[in-house]
Amino acid sequence: MIPIDPIQRLIAAMGPPAAFAVGLALIVLAGFGRGRSRVSKVLGVLTLLAGLVLVFPRARPAPAAGALLAPDGFSTAWQILFYAGALPFAILGAAGTEAPALLYLGSALGMGIIALSRNLLMLFIGLELMSIPAYLLVSGLGRRERASSEAALKYFFSGGAASAFFLLGIALYYARMKTLAFAPGSAPPDPILGASLVLMGTAALFKIGAVPLHFWLPDVYEASAPELAGFFSTALKAAAVLLLMRVVSIAPSSALARALPWAGALTMFVGAVLALGQDRLQRLLAYSSIAHAGNIILGVGAWAAMGASPAAAYAIYFYLAAYLFMNNGAFSFLAVSGLKTREDLKGFAKGSPVLAGLFAVFMLALAGAPPTAGFLAKLLIFWEALKAGLYAPLAFALLSALIALVYYLSLVRDAYFEEGSAVSVRGSLAGRAVLWACAAPSAALGLFPIVLGPIQRLLGP
Amino acid sequence: MTLWVWGVSLFLFFVGLAIVVLRRQLLLMLLGLELMIAGTNIVLVFYGGLRADADILGAALLILAVAAGEAVVGLALILRAYNLGLEPDAPALRELRG
Amino acid sequence: MIHAPFSLLLVLIAPILAIVAGGFLYTFRPRLVHWPMLASCAVVFLAALRLAYLVSTRGAMDVLLYRWAATWSPGSSWLVDFGLRLDGLSAMMLLLISTVGGLIHLYSVGYMEEDASFGRFFLYFHFFYFSMLGLVVADNYVQMYLFWELVGTASYLLIGFWYHKDTARRAALQAFLTNRVGDLGFLAAVFILMAIVGRGDSNFTDLFQLGASINPTHLALVGFLLFWAATAKSAQFPLYFWLPDAMEGPTPVSALMHAATMVTAGIFLLARSWPLISLVDGLPQWVAAVGALTAIGSAIVAVTKTDLKRILAYSTVSHLGIMAMGIGLGKVGGALFHLLTHGFFKATLFLCAGNIAHALHKPTADVSEAGGLRKHMPVTFGAFTVAALSLAGVFPFAGFFSKDAIIGAALERGGVMAVAGLLIAFLSALYIFRMLFLVFWGPRSWQHPPERPHEAGTVMAAPVSLLAAGAFAVGMFAVWGHRLTDLLLRGWAGSAESLSIPGFEWPSFFAGTSMLLFGAGAAYFLTTAMPDWDPAWRASRPWLARLFETDFYYKSFVSGVVDAVLAASRAIGEIFDSRVVDGAVEGTGPAVRALSARFSAAISGSLNDYLWWLAAGAAALLGLALRTL
C-alpha cells in the first residue's frame, strides 16, 4: 500500500521540492517519447508554476528540532524569486531535447534546497545541485559551440574551486561548533568561526559575481543564450544572495559581514566601469549585472551591520524582485531581437519601435530612473546603507550609479538617435509576452511601494 | 592528533589549490579539484570518529558522492570541448576575454 | 472606493481624455483637434457649476485619491498624497477658469483658423487648461507644486508657440527661467514644510491646523519663500519683466494665461496659504507694499506704451499688484473678488486687441496703426468700452466693486497705502482711457489693408461679448446677497473677517470715482484734445523713447545683472578648467575609460588567471578574519 499520509505531510512540509521531484520524473519519462522537446518544455513550465503555487504556506506541521530542511519566511519569499526568475528561460529557451528542462529544474530544485536548508550540509548539496546543471546548461545551449564549451569549462573550474572553499568552511565550522546545523546568531564570533564564515561567504560571493571573484561571469553570460543568461542573473543570483545571507546570519558581526559593504562598493564600481567600455551587448549586461550585485552586497552588509534588521531584508528582497523583472526583460529583449553589439542596436527604434520602447524601459529601470522599479529599489538599499552608517560605501554606490547612468542612457540613445540599419523585428508571441510581462512591473513598481506590505508579511518580522 | 590531521588535510587542500591555479592541463586541474575536496573530507571523517558522530560520517559520504558527480560532469565538459576541437589546455581557452 | 463627487473627478478626467483624443486626431486630422477640447470645456464648465452648488450646500471636502506610501516598519514610512480639495476658493477658481477658459477656447477656433499649427495650439492650450485646473484643486503643497511646474511648462510652450520667431523663443525662455527662480522658493518652502511636519502627506486642512504651533522662524521662512514664488508667477516687482515680453504668444494665450488664470496662480497661492501668512509678523505688510509698488510702477509704464498688448500686459501687472495689495491689507476676499472680475474684463480687453490685430491682419497692433475703429468694429468697440469701464472702476460695472473693496481697505489703512490706492485709481483710468480714445476715436491712422477692418465672425465675436457681459455683471452678482463671500467661506481656514467684501461705501465710492474722472479727463486731454501729443512728442525726444522702452531702465538693470552672473560663472568655470588641466576634472571621462580598459584587460580569458584571483580574494578575506587571531 502506498502510504498517503507521510507523502501528504512531506508535500505539505516541503512544497516545491516535492513538485519538482514529480516534474523531473515526468520529464525523464517524456524523454522516451516523440515530441519530447515540446512536451518537456510544457512540463517544465508547469512544474515551475506548481512550485510557485506550493510555495505558499498552508497548514504546515512544525519542523522537527534538528531538521535539515525547514521552511521559513525567507525561504518562501526567495523561492518565489527562483521559480519566477526561471520562467522566462523555461518559456523562451530553445529546447532540442528534454535535457534543458531537466537541467534548469534540477538547478531550481537546488535553489529551493538552499532556501529551505537549516544545515550546512544541505546548503552544500543545494549549492552543488544548483551549480552543476548550470555548468551543463552553459555548455549545451550556447550559440557558438566552441565558445560555450570554453565558458562552461571556466565556470566549472572556478565554481568547483569555490565549492571546495565552501567545504573547507564547513569543516572548520564543524570543528568549532560540533554540529552542522546553523541558526541565525547562533555563534559567537571567534577566529576559527570567522575563517569558516569567510570561506563559505567567498563561495557565495563567487556565485553572486562579486569583485574580485567575478572573472567567470562575463564569459559565461556572453557565451550563453541570452535567456539563459537571464536565468543566471536573476534566479541564480538570488539564490547566491540568500546563501550569503544565511551564512552571514550565523554571526552578523563577523569579519565577513564587516567586509561586505566594502566588497559591495568595489564590486559596483568595477562593474560599472567595466560596462562603460563594452560594445558587445551581452557582455555589457553581464558587467551591469556585476554592478547591481554590488548594490545588493552593500544591502546585505547593511542588513548585517544593523543586526539582521527586517527593513533591510525587505529592501534586499525588493531589489532582487525588481531586478528579476528588469534583467530578465533586458536579456529576453536580446533573445527576441537577436542583437549582438552596439552597432546592431543603432537605429533600432526606427524599425521596431515597440521593441525599442520596451528596451528603453528596461534600460531606464536598470539605471534607476524614477518612477521605475529600479529607482525605488536603489532608494531603499541606499536608505538602509545610510541608516547603517555606511557612508563611504554609499558614496561609492552613488558614484557608480552615476557612471551606470552613462552607459544605460547611451544605449537608449544609440537605439533612438543613431543611424543604423533599422531592422524590423516582431518576435514570437511567447517572446513578446515575456517582454511585456517584465516591462510592466519594471516601469510601474516604483509607483506602487504598496507591494512592500505583502513583502513584509512574507518575510516576517 | 587533531593538529596532525588538520595539517595533512590543509596540505592536501593547498596542493590541490596550487594544482588548479598553476597547471595548464584541464585534466590535471580536475585532479586538483578532487584533491581539495578529498582534503576536507579527511577532516570530516576524522571528526566523525573522534566524536562518534554518525551524522558527520554520513555527510562525508554524501560529499564524496557529490564530488564524484562533479568529476563526471567535469570530464564530460572536457570531452565535449576536445570533440569540438578545443585543446584541453587552460591558457589556450582564450576566445572569450575582456 | 473613492468617495468623491463625480464632477470633481470629471474636472480632471475630461481634459485628460480630450488631450488623448486630440493627440490621436492630431496625427491624421489636425484641423479637428479642437472638438474634443471644446467638449471638454463644456463638461468642465457644467462640473464647475455643480461643484459650486455642492460646496454651497454641503461644505468643503478633501478627497484622497492615491497615497504613494513606502512603509516597512511601523512609524517608518514615506508618504506622498494625491488628493483633491473642494472648497469655496477652489470652486470659485474652477468657475473662473472654466468660464473664461471655455470662451477663449471658442474664440481661438476663429483666431487660429489660418494658422498652420492649429492642432498643436489646441493640444498645448488644453494642456495648460488641465494644469491650471489641477493646480486649484490640489489638496497639498507637493501636488500644487507639481501642477505649478506643469503650468510653467505650458506657458513656455505657448509663449514660444511661433518658435520660428526669435523674439518668441527668447520670451519663452525668459518666462520659463524667471519662473524657475521663483519656483526654487516654492520648492524650498515645500521641503521646509515637510521637515516641519515630518511627513510629505499633509494636506492643507491638516497643515493649517498645525499653524500656530510651528516655530515662528520656520513659518516666516516658508511665508517669504511662498511669496517669492508668487512674485515670479504673478509678476510682482522685481520679477515682473517676463510678462510684457510674453505677449509674443498668440492672443488667446495672452488672454487666458497672462491675464485671467496662470498669472493669478501666485495670488491663488497666497490666498490658499493665508492661514500661514497671516501668522507671520510683517509679511502681510511686506506683501501689501510690494503689491502697491508694483501696481503703481507698472501703471505708469502702461501709460507710456504704444503696443496694444503691451499696454494690457502692464495693466495686468498693475492689477496683480492690486490683488497682492488687497491680500497684504488682510482683505483676501477683496483680492479674490478682484481676481475674478479682472479675469473677465482683462480677457475681454485682450480678445478685443486680438480682434483688432486680426482685422488689421497683423500679429499684434500698435496704437499708431489703429484709430477711429469704432465705426468699423462696433462689437469690439462695445466690448472694449464695457471692459475698460469695468477696469477703471466705474459704478456699477464689475470692476468697481472689486476695486472698491481693495481701495476702500487702503483708505481705511490710511497713510502711504491710502495715497497708493488713490494713485492707482487715477493711473488705471488714465492708461485705459488713453487706449480707448486712441484706438477707437481719433483720426484713422491705420494703413489700408486689402479690405476695411471689420468684425470677425461669430466664433470670435460671441465669446468677446459674453466675456464683456461678465465684465459688467459679475461684480453685482457676486456682491448681491454676499454670494461670493458665502462661497469663499466654505472650508476657509483663515478668519471670516479676511473674506468680507464691503457692498457699497460712500467714502471709497467718492474717492475712487473722483480719481477715475481725473484720470479719464487727463486721458481725454492728452489724446483727443491734443492729438499730436503722443506720437509727435515721443518722436522729438528719443531719450524718452529709450526710457519708456526699458521700463525706466529697470530692464537694462535686469539684463545687466543676468549678464554679470553669466560672466561670473563662466570665469569660475575657466579657472577650474585651467587649474585642473592635468586631468582631475576634465580628464574624468578619459580616466574612467582608461580604468575600464585596465579592468577589462585583467579579464584575460585565461582560466588560470581567474582562479588566481579567486584564491587571492579568498585569501584577502581570510586575512581579515584571522587578524584577530
Confidence of residue C42 (pLDDT cuts 50, 70, 90): very high
> Residue A61: its pLDDT value, please?
58
For residue C626, the model assigns a pLDDT of 74
How buried is residue A122: exposed, middle or buried, by Cβ count under 10 Å (0-12/13-18/19+)? buried
C-beta separation of A239 from A185 below 8 A:
no
Q: Does residue C576 have a pLDDT over 60?
A: no
* CA separation for the pair A174, A309 (Å, rounded): 27
- Please judge whether B96 and C608 are an interchain contact, meaning their C-beta atoms are less than 8 angstroms apart: no
- Could you read off the pLDDT of C234-261 as tens digits, one per residue? 888 888 888 888 888 888 888 888 777 8
Q: List Cβ neighbours of C27 (8 Å cut-off, separation of 6 or more).
A: none
Give the sign of the dihedral formed by CA A47, CA A49, CA A50, CA A55.
Answer: positive
The single-letter code of the amino acid at C341 is T
Residue-level pLDDT at A135: 94
Distance of CA C183 to the CA centre of its chain: 12
Q: Distances from the Cα of C533 to the Cαs of A143, C523, C540, C541, in angstroms? A: 89, 11, 10, 12
Judge if the upstream peptide bond of residue C238 is cis by omega within 30 degrees of 0: yes
Nearest to C618 among A199, A273, A453 (CB): A199
Q: Do A149 and B56 touch (CB under 8 A)?
A: no
Q: What is the pLDDT of residue A168?
A: 95
Q: Is B73 within 8 Å of A151 when comparing Cβ atoms? A: no
Amino acid A136: pLDDT? 92
Cα(B37)–Cα(A128) distance, integer angstroms: 13
Average pLDDT, chain B: 90
- Domain boundaries along the sequence of chain B: 24-87
Tell whether C600 lies on the interface with A, counting CB pairs under 8 A. yes
Tell me which chain A residue has its CA closest to the CA of residue B9. Answer: A168
CA-CA-CA-CA dihedral for C27, C30, C36, C40, to nearest 10: 100
pLDDT digits (tens, 9 = 90+) for A287-325: 999 999 999 999 999 999 988 888 888 889 999 999 999
Residues of chain A with pLDDT under 70: 1-13, 57-66, 95, 141-144, 186, 189, 450, 460-461
**Is C605 close to B98, i.e. CB distance below 8 A?**
yes
Measured between CA atoms, the residue of chain A closest to residue C626 is A191
The amino acid that residue C116 corresponds to is A
B21 touches chain C (CB under 8 A): yes
Contacts of A371 in chain C (CB under 8 A): none
Residue C605 and residue B22: Cβ atoms within 8 Å? no
> Rg (Cα) of chain C, in Å, rounded?
28
Across the interface, which of C597, C609, C613 has its CB nearest the CB of A277?
C597
**What torsion do the CA atoms of A29, A31, A36, A38 make, to the nearest 10 degrees?**
70
DSSP string, C382-412: HHHHHHHHHHHT-TTSHHHHHHHHHHHHHHH
Mean pLDDT over the full length of chain C:
81
Tell if the CB–CB gap between A171 and B36 is shorter than 8 Å: no
At residue A239, what is the residue type?
A
Return d(Cα C19, Cα C405) in angstroms, integer.
Answer: 39
How crowded is residue C56: how many other Cβ atoms within 10 Å of its Cβ?
15
Kindly determine whether residue C611 and residue A276, on different chains, have CB atoms separated by under 8 Å.
no
Report the percentage of chain A scoring pLDDT > 70: 92
Which residues of B, range 2-61, sit inside 8 Å of A by Cβ?
6, 9, 13, 16-17, 20, 26, 29-30, 33, 36-37, 39-41, 43-44, 47, 51, 53, 55-56, 59
Distance separating alpha carbons of residues A376 and C68, to the nearest angstrom: 12
Partners of residue C601 in chain B, C-beta under 8 Å: 98
Note whether C608 contacts B22, CB cutoff 8 Å: yes
Neighboring chain A residues of C71 at a CB cutoff of 8 Å: 449, 452-453
- Taking a C-beta distance cutoff of 8 angstroms, is the pair C402, C488 a contact? no
Q: Compute the count of residue pairs across chains A and C with CB atoms less than 8 Å apart.
A: 108
Describe the crossing of helices A237-250 and A191-208 by its angle, rounded to 10 degrees: 170
Write out chain B residues lying below 8 Å of A139, CB-based: 77, 80
Q: How far is CA A409 from the centre of its chain?
A: 24
Query: Of C290, C298, C299, C244, which Cα lies nearest the Cα of C267?
Result: C290
- Only one residue has cell 489700408, namely C448
Among B9, B33, B86, beta carbon nearest to A160: B33
Among chain A residues, the shortest Cα distance to C74 is held by A311
| Chain C residue with Cα closest to A162 | C614
- The domain ranges of chain C are 6-540
Closest CA to A380 of A441, A443, A460, A446: A446
C-alpha cell at C491: 472650508
From B62's Cα to the closest Cα of chain A, the distance in A is 9
A174: closest chain B residue by CA: B44
Q: Residue C202 to residues C62, C91, C193, C195, C550: CA-CA distances in angstroms?
A: 12, 21, 9, 11, 44
* Residue C609 forms contact with A (CB below 8 Å): yes
How near does any CA of chain C get to the CA of A154, in Å?
6
Chain A residues within 8 A of B81 when measuring between CB atoms: 146, 149-150, 152-153
- Spatial neighbors of C97 by CB under 8 A, at least 6 apart, are C48, C129, C132, C133, C136, C260, C261
CA distances to A53, A66, A173, A387 from C626, in Å: 45, 30, 14, 28
Tens digits of residue pLDDT in C456-512: 677 888 888 888 888 888 877 777 767 777 788 777 877 777 777 776 777 778 888
Residue C454 pLDDT:
66
Nearest neighbour of B62 by CB, restricted to A121, A136, A178: A121
Q: In DSSP terms, which residues pair with C309 in a beta bridge?
A: none
**pLDDT above 50: residue C348:** yes
Torsion of CA A8, A10, A11, A14, to 10 degrees: 160
The tens digit of pLDDT for each residue in C296-347 reads 888 888 888 888 888 899 999 999 999 999 988 888 888 888 998 999 999 9
B25 forms beta bridges with B89
CB < 8 Å to A274, chain C: 596, 599-600
Residue C256 near residue C350 (C-beta atoms within 8 A): no
Mutation for A interface: C80, C146, C607, most A CBs within 10 A? C607
Q: Residues of B with CB below 8 A from C605's CB?
A: 93-98
CA distance A61 to C60: 55
Instruction: Please answer yes or no on whether A215 and C597 come within 8 Å at the CB atom.
Output: no
Contact B66 A180 (CB under 8 A): no
Residue C582 has pLDDT above 50, yes or no: no
Q: According to DSSP H, which parts of C160-263 are helical?
A: 166-197, 204-210, 216-233, 242-245, 251-255
Interface test with B, best of C596, C603, C606 (most B CBs within 10 A): C606
- Report how far apart, in Å, the C-alpha atoms of C196 and of each of A81, A300, C72 are: 40, 33, 22
A 23-62: CB under 8 A from C: none
Question: How far apart, in whole angstroms, are the C-alpha atoms of residue A221 and residue A207?
Answer: 13
For residue C626, the chain B residues in CB contact (below 8 A) are: none
DSSP letter (8 states) at residue A280: B
CB-CB neighbors (< 8 A) of C600 in chain A: 274, 277-278
Which residue bears the cell 486626431?
Answer: C25
| Closest Cα in chain C, distance from residue A344 (Å) | 22
Q: Grid coordinates standing for A153?
A: 569549462
Task: Say if B80 is an interface residue toward chain A (CB within 8 Å).
Answer: yes
User: Is C601 in CB contact (< 8 Å) with chain A?
Assistant: no
| In chain C, % of residues over pLDDT 70 | 86
User: What pTM did the predictor assign?
Assistant: 0.67
Q: What is the dihedral of CA C227, C231, C232, C235, to 10 degrees?
A: 160
pLDDT at C586 over 90: no
Contact assignment for A201 to C600 by CB distance below 8 Å: no
Question: How large is the greatest C-alpha to C-alpha distance in chain A, in angstroms?
Answer: 71
In this prediction, residue C470 carries a pLDDT of: 84
**Cβ contact C606–B24 (<8 Å):** no
Q: Is the pLDDT of residue C197 over 90?
A: no
Query: Which residues fall within 8 angstroms of residue A246, CB to CB, at 6 or more apart?
Result: A114, A117, A123, A182
Using CA atoms, how far apart are residues A436 and A355, in angstroms rounded to an integer?
10
All three cell numbers of A252, joined, read 552578523
Q: In angstroms, rounded to a whole number, what is the distance separating the alpha carbons of residues C70 and A452? A: 7
CB contact under 8 A, C628 and A380: no
Contact C351, C456 (CB under 8 A): no
C627 touches A: beta carbon within 8 Å: yes
Interface of A with C in 215-234 (CB under 8 A): 215-216, 218-219
Distance, CA of A410 to CA of A416 (rounded, Å): 10
Collect all residues of chain A within an 8 Å Cβ-Cβ radius of residue B4. Answer: none
Q: Which of C204, C187, C326 is nearest to C264 (CA)?
A: C326
**Strand, helix or coil for residue C79:** strand
The answer to whether residue C564 scores a pLDDT higher than 80 is no
Q: Assign residue A458 a region: left if phi > 0, alpha if psi is -120 to 50, beta otherwise?
A: alpha
The shares of helix, strand and coil residues in chain B, as percent rounded to the nearest 5, are 80, 0, 15
pLDDT in tens, B8-49: 999 999 999 999 999 889 999 999 999 999 999 999 999 988
Query: Which of A319, A193, A321, A209 lies closest to A257 in space, CA to CA?
Result: A193
Using left for φ > 0, alpha for ψ between -120 and 50, and beta otherwise, residue B85 falls in left
CB neighbours of residue A423 within 10 Å? 15
B59 confidence band (pLDDT: 50, 70, 90):
very high
A chain contacts of residue C609, beta-carbon cutoff 8 Å: 215
pLDDT at position C535:
65
Report, as an integer, the average pLDDT of C262-274.
88
How far apart are the C-alpha atoms of C327 and C301, rounded to whole Å?
Answer: 23
The alpha carbons of chain A give a radius of gyration, in whole angstroms, of: 21
Which among C592, C618, C629 has the least Cβ separation from residue A202?
C618
Integer Cα distance of C526 and C533 in angstroms: 6
What's the confidence (pLDDT) of residue A218? 92
Please report the residues numbered 534 through 593 in chain C whose beta carbons come closer than 8 angstroms to any beta carbon of chain A: 592-593
Q: Kindly give the interhelix angle for A145-177 and A216-223, rounded to the nearest 10 degrees.
A: 140
| DSSP conformational letter for A232 | I
Which letter does DSSP use for residue C456 in this model?
Answer: -
Task: Tell me how close the Cα of B69 comes to any Cα of chain C, in angstroms.
Answer: 21
Nine cell digits for residue A128: 552543488
